Amino acid sequence: MNNTPSAAAGTAQWQCGSCSFIYDEAQGWPAEGIAPGTPWAQVPQDWRCPDCSSSKDDFMALD
């Protein structure tokens, strides 16, 4: 599995493999304290998908 985004940091999107939720680095997830522009690598490892609770490891970079 390739989890390396093709876009510049802060502009990539990551999709949950379980429910298709998309984490957009440009938007972050302020409701959980993740500021807009936060690169995926800086999202805490214990962060869970807000829709289905899958782990960060279940996300894949979108091209």
CATH number at residue 46: 2.20.28.10
Residue 5: inside a domain: no
**Structural domain harbouring 19:** 13-61
Residue 45: inside a domain: yes
11 vs 52 pLDDT, higher one: 52
Residue 4: inside a domain: no
6 vs 22 pLDDT, higher one: 22
Residue 1: inside a domain: no
Residue 8: inside a domain: no
Number of domains in the chain: 1
> Cα separation of 46 and 26, whole Å?
20
| Sign of the alpha-carbon torsion through 12, 52, 43, 36 | positive
Residue 51: name the closest of 25, 26, 32 by CA.
Answer: 32
13-49 pLDDT, tens digit per residue, is: 999 999 999 999 999 999 999 999 999 999 999 999 9
Residue 25: inside a domain: yes
Q: What one-character-per-residue DSSP string does 17-47 give?
A: TTT--EEETTT-BGGGTB-TT--GGGS-TT-
